[in-house]
A and B are shown apart, each in its own frame.
Chain A
Amino acid sequence: QRLRILYTKILGVLQNIPKDAAYRKYTEQIVNQRLNLVQTETDVQKLQDKLNSGRIEEVIVQAENELSLSRKMLQWKPWEPLVEEPPSNQWKWPI
């Protein structure tokens, strides 16, 4: 089914991110979990209940979002250390 193709594509994109990124770890976890569930359950209704996150169509939309997010993450690389420190009284509240 489409979910299987989508999840394999996401895993493929994730392989390109350097190994020590937390994003890669967590997304791989989630995607592998869902992929296993999809492969073991052939009945659509039971799959929906097991995943427990809305209808199957919504899960497909979510997987497509995750795919586009992983492609953008490749571009932006948010796992490097901070770009810039804030000035010291920036987040002090009350002033």
Chain B
Amino acid sequence: GCWIPSPAPEDIVYRSSLCRKLRAGECGATLDFAKQVGSEALHPGEDLGGSVGPLHALTLSPPSHTAGPFLSRNSTIRMTALVEDIDRLEARRGCPRQHLASRLRWFSHLCRDWLFEVPLGLLADCLHEELTHQWSSLLFDDSLTGGALAWLPPASGGPPVGRLVHPGGQAMNHLHFQDVVLEELPRARGSPEQFELSGRIRQVAAARVDGQDFVGVRSDYHCGVWRVPGKTGAAPAPLQVIRTDMPASCLTVSPHLPGELSVCTQSGTVYLWSVETGLQQLRHDPQTMFFRDHSPWRWSDFTAHPRVLSCADRTGLQCVDARAPKRCHFDLFKVGEEAGCQQGERVVLPMYLGRAHPSQYLVTTQFSIYVLDERLPLVPILKWGHMMKAPPLFAHLMPGKPGRSHKVLLGASRTQELLLLQYQGRRSRGSQSVCQLAGTPQKLHDIAGCLQHLPTQLPHRQHLLQQRLAAPAAGLAATLQEDGPHNSMLVFQLSEAGDVFCQRLTHKAAQPPAPPSRDEATTAPGSSPLFEAPASSPLGSDAAALRYRRWLRALSRACREPPRHTWRPSLSQRRLFTRRDLEGPAGPSSLHRQMRQRLRQTMREGGRVQRWEPLTTLQRPPLPQTLEPAGGLEPLNARLTAAWAGDWEQWWEERSSFSVAQRQRALRERRRRQKRAQGRRSLSASFTSSLTYQSELSELSDSGPPVPSPGRPLTLSREGTPPAGSPPVRSPPASPAHDEALLSSQSLRCRGIPKERRKTLRDYLSVWAEGP
């Protein structure tokens, strides 16, 4: 299917000058991670405030009713022009309502039928919240931390078939287990094993314990764990799923014990999750550890001791003993002086380097990487400024064999950067060699960079391809292939569009002048594409070219479908209430029964039932508006009641403003209405008694929802302002029973009205009943 890209800065910020700024500067001031992560950036930047402001104002301004002169216009508005108007409005911030541009009013008019339905203050709040959220995730989306791509290496001694675990599908909610044959060119074998999940997959983590792979999958509110048996071709089995109230921000799989994971949620809770024994809460602290930072991001990983877990937030790392989490903990890393951190530096991704050295830890910040030894905490044993443009969200470790360097890959999401660094620091017998970088770090090809090596397409296809390849990275995995003389490294990269890319780095023997211990890996000229995805370099082999063509065809086919989001959205309320909700009480009420009885009787008599009024003996059913919304009433109940009574708007104002003055006004208004109603009744007393029921009818129609009549345009008038045409009618407060009695034909007969005139009188009354 076609990929739905996540919002770009232009989608949120529409002020043209800002857009230009964002596009021009690759690491512009507004996309400054340090600023965003730093506590001072809780309030969105100046630019953001300025640009979200108008939208806020727009939604808050009430729908205008003065739409008369515009009726001849067509119903489309150019949004760009509207935005300009709003910008102008923003310039005169002092009193925006007085200078409402006509286009803006027209917009309000067009939208008033639905805009009115939405509580404006609420909409504005929601919109503002959503925009802020979108903006911050645009600046730096930490939900992807850890990456959603995992590589399960081939079982030792088995055939060279590994597995890639990654999300796919339009919503990235399908978990794929794809067998990959490691030949000269890695090749996908068969179709992937698929699991459909209920949310977008944010992270896929894997670890191998006792020859079995455990795969943890994190989406916002669910985490799941799968077990993949060591035998090739064995089907992955889902083990357990947990649901969290707050979005989970981290899921790591224990490299020590089977079926153990650690989970962090954004509320600051860290759990040790064992498939056998369930969840154990290790820590709950909404505050950050070492100094105040607003970010709710938390991380946790395992350490050399299987019962000791590290807990991280943006300010540092602590280790907690699961056997006594309250008492036993120590600081592992602190953003501050000991590590020589810069101002605004924050932890981005910690990772346990246990496969290389049992007590070493990697901590990346947006500026540097640190290697720590948990035996000598707080003092980094290696520090290096990585110079990446975006903070490294993904990391992958490939431990080297004795005498070789360990390789760490760092990956960024938005910029697709990929960095390979090698370090040494091995425990040799007795003495400990110093941890140091081996050779200089090296940048690897990013996905978007391979476009220039691909054959040119038709312009629109080229554009499509470019967009697809520029999708942010979503995961990173790698494997070393050490078969004899041809040592190479395969790097897999997942993009947010769900494509998996692969590049191969072949080992070249270091040149004689260079120190022999240096392990240089260089990109081979013929990097290879995996699956249907293209990769860098002119397509080396025929197989790769074929795969690329197939992928491209599928891509253009998927995108030729009409994009669904351009259709007019329609909202269905059908499911809002179930049928049962809409049904009345289970059995027919006594009223029903009586009505039916009456209907049958009338039919038997061959007469007509003109008004569905209960018999004189019946109690009048209480009308909804008589239900005075009491203080203890449920909000929804109160709101529905208000809506029924037609003064919904007032109800909203009452609810949203809570101002005493308004309440008093409302109270006064209600009293006046009551008085008027009473007045009407008393006035009608001077009419003939036959008119009394009319007054009752008008009262009914007055308080019910307005009935559309051809003569007047539809207006939603406030309750209490009587329609201009209706004369003030007064009637004495008659008892309902009495009124009902008047309407029946028997009573008319009793009053001496001749039979032939009775119909005329009824017709007359019904005209009155139809409204003013």
The answer to whether A and B come from one shared complex is no
- B residues contacting A by CB (< 8 A) are none
